[in-house]
Amino acid sequence: MDGAIGELSTFHQVNGVYAEGVHIETAVYLPPGWRNRLISWPLRSSEPAAPRFLDPHDPAIAKLGAAREKDLAFVDALIRVSLLHLVVLEQRCALLPEEHALVRARISNFLASYAN
């Protein structure tokens, strides 16, 4: 993946963005069902592989769960330019299991700040 669509790849040079693969255990707070929401599109540069990507709302919830300042700022920016939708984020937050109730409440409070 790094060679095809990663940092410093031709894809990166042409599109100004790149993909960075991470191990799934990195995202502790991915909402249940994320595998069913994976999206893909054909990339000539990745043939014969068929890369799949997280729906943007799922890693946003994971980032809000981690609550690092850089992640909060990143999600805030995506919300402000309408690349993330509050209703979907609220739905995904509600999917977090009971063991993450405190994280779920913190994310809900963050999202509620956009209601005004």
Q: Are 37 and 58 in contact (CB under 8 A)?
A: yes
**pLDDT surpassing 80 at residue 84:** yes
What does the pLDDT average to over 48-71?
90
Distance of CA 100 to the CA centre of its chain: 18
What's the confidence (pLDDT) of residue 41?
75
What does the pLDDT average to over 68-96?
97
Q: Which two tokens stand for residue 64?
A: 């809000």
**pLDDT surpassing 70 at residue 1:** no
Domain spans, the chain: 2-112
Distance, in Å, from the CA atom of 17 to the CA atom of 9, rounded to the nearest integer, reads 10
Who wins on pLDDT, 45 or 11? 11
**pLDDT surpassing 70 at residue 46:** no
What's the confidence (pLDDT) of residue 105?
98
